[in-house]
């Protein structure tokens, strides 16, 4: 084995990107290279599980996987909140310690920011908030008639197809409860089409899928505030009996304080995921990789995973004093679940010129089985 000077790699965040990077690094570097994941949570759970909790096929306590066992692989884990990042001093501060690094991978994801929409937290339930998902399920079970509104209140947001999956699953749940014909579902988005990053054709296919399940899509509806049973937009308003919202997203405050990103922005990187600071990389939802002047890489776990592996391979090359060759390929996909063990699959290739290529595969049972396998395979590999 090539003799390598002791090196310290810190990974901030134990999600898709952080775990993928840590495993790739550990498998290809000797044990005198120290790899440490720092996360304020002591567990990992894929976001897709929230939809299974919503439809009652999974429970939170049986879905979260502890991060501590990763230490058996020779990857250190610190369960603390990060309160300061100093890229100039090459140090990280948590509540109890300060750590230095040679390489830093920032994979902190995004924070939900419902406070940016006046009245949203008081009068709506947040689809991406784990504590709200069981409340949404119970509210749906109690709904006998009226209107359920789903609203994307800020863009970009993580897991782009997920809100549409939720709408389809809710329709399936209502049908099972015998209330499908008496409950109206309306979906509101600030975008003109369902999935802008996927392009007009896939967006139209998804729109037709929603229509086939009697779900009404309303584009160009930018939410400005929420009152009791009233959703207000820039130029109109609508009533609801139950509001399920996707809130605005923001980078964690520690990112802005570190000058890695400006307030209201994400960390801007290219396909190497390098930041403006030496040996500092940003992967996953916290970053922004532009594909065209209007389209960015979607915020989804599969892309965070690819970015994590890309960064890990380039760090390995640098440590070995080899040429860095890895760039993020932008290939991946997302499942579109519909209930009844059926799912479609959205296949994506982001960096095809002049525009990304996307393909929505028809819903079937195999896609749903593949979604379950997607979770199982990564949990087995990473943890």
* 74-126 pLDDT tens trace: 999 999 999 999 999 999 999 999 999 999 999 999 999 999 999 999 999 99
Q: How confident is the model at residue 354 (pLDDT cuts 50, 70, 90)?
A: confident
Measure the CA–CA gap between 232 and 131, rounded to whole angstroms.
25
Supply the pLDDT for residue 355.
84
- At 13 the pLDDT is 98
Q: Which of 362, 48, 338, 372 is nearest to 176 (CA)?
A: 338
Percent of residues, the chain, with pLDDT higher than 70: 99
Q: Which two tokens stand for residue 46?
A: 């894929």
| pLDDT at residue 1 is higher than 50 | no
Q: What is the pLDDT of residues 2-44, one digit of tens each?
A: 444 679 999 999 999 999 999 999 999 999 999 999 999 999 9
Distance of alpha carbon 380 from alpha carbon 382, whole angstroms: 6
Residue 136 has pLDDT above 90, yes or no: yes
Residue 27 burial (CB count, 10 A): 11
* 247 and 128 Cβ atoms separated by less than 8 Å: yes
Supply the Cα-derived Rg of the chain in whole angstroms: 21
* DSSP symbols for 356-376: -EEEEEEEEHHHHHHHHHHHH
pLDDT of the residue at 5: 63
Instruction: Give the CA angle between residues 200, 375, 213 to the nearest 5°.
Output: 40
pLDDT tens sequence across 201-244:
999 999 999 999 999 999 999 999 999 999 999 999 999 999 99
The arithmetic mean of pLDDT across residues 305-317, rounded, is 98
pLDDT of residue 56: 94
SS3 161: coil
Task: Look at residue 57 in the predicted model and tell me its pLDDT.
Answer: 93
User: Which single residue is written with the structure tokens 């779900």?
Assistant: 215
* Cα–Cα distance, 183 to 174 (Å, whole number): 8
What pTM does this model have?
Answer: 0.96
Cis before 319 (ω within 30): no
Do 15 and 44 form a contact (C-beta atoms < 8 A)? yes
pLDDT, residue 353, reads: 84
Q: Are 42 and 67 in contact (CB under 8 A)?
A: yes
Residue 140 DSSP symbol:
H
For the chain, domains (ranges, CATH) are 7-110+251-328 (3.50.50.60), 115-248 (3.50.50.60)
pLDDT exceeding 90 applies to what percent of the chain?
95
Overall size of the chain counted in residues? 383
Average confidence (pLDDT) over 356-369: 94
Query: What CA–CA distances, in Å, run from 51 to 164, 330, 338, 339?
Result: 11, 25, 10, 10
Between CA 215 and CA 184 the distance in angstroms is 7
């Amino acid at each position: 084995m090539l003799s390598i000077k002791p090196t310290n790699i810190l990974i901030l965040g134990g999600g898709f990107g952080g775990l993928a990077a840590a495993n790739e690094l550990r498998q290809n570097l000797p044990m005198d290279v120290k790899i440490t994941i720092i996360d304020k949570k002591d567990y990992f759970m894929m976001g897709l599980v929230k939809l299974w909790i919503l439809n009652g096929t999974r429970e939170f306590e049986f879905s979260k996987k502890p991060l501590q066992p990763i230490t058996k692989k020779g990857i250190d884990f610190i369960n603390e909140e990060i309160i300061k990042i100093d890229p100039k001093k090459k140090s990280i501060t948590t509540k109890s310690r300060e750590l230095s690094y040679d390489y830093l991978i920032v994979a902190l994801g995004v924070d939900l920011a419902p406070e940016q929409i006046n009245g949203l937290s008081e009068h709506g339930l947040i689809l991406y908030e784990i504590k709200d998902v069981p409340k949404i399920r119970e509210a749906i079970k109690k709904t006998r008639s009226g209107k359920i509104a789903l609203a994307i209140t800020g863009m970009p947001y993580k897991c782009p197809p997920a809100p549409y999956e939720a709408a389809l699953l809710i329709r399936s749940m209502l049908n099972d409860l015998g209330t499908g014909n008496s409950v109206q579902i309306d979906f509101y988005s600030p975008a003109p089409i369902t999935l802008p990053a996927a392009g007009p054709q896939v967006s139209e296919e998804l729109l037709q899928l929603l229509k086939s399940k009697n779900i009404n899509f309303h584009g160009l509806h930018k939410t400005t505030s929420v009152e009791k049973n009233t959703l207000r937009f820039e130029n109109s308003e609508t009533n609801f009996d139950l509001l399920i919202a996707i809130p605005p997203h923001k980078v964690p405050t520690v990112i802005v304080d570190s000058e890695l990103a400006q307030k209201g922005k994400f960390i801007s990187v290219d396909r190497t995921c390098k930041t403006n600071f030496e040996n500092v990389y940003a992967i996953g939802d916290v970053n922004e990789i532009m594909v065209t002047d209007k389209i960015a890489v979607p915020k989804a776990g599969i892309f965070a995973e690819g970015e994590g592996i890309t960064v890990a391979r380039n760090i390995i090359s640098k440590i070995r004093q080899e040429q860095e060759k890895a760039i993020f390929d932008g290939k991946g996909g997302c499942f579109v679940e519909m209930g009844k063990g059926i799912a479609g699959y959205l296949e994506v290739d982001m960096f095809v010129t002049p525009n990304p290529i996307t393909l929505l595969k028809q819903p079937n049972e195999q896609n749903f089985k593949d979604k379950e396998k997607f979770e199982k395979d990564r949990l087995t590999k990473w943890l």
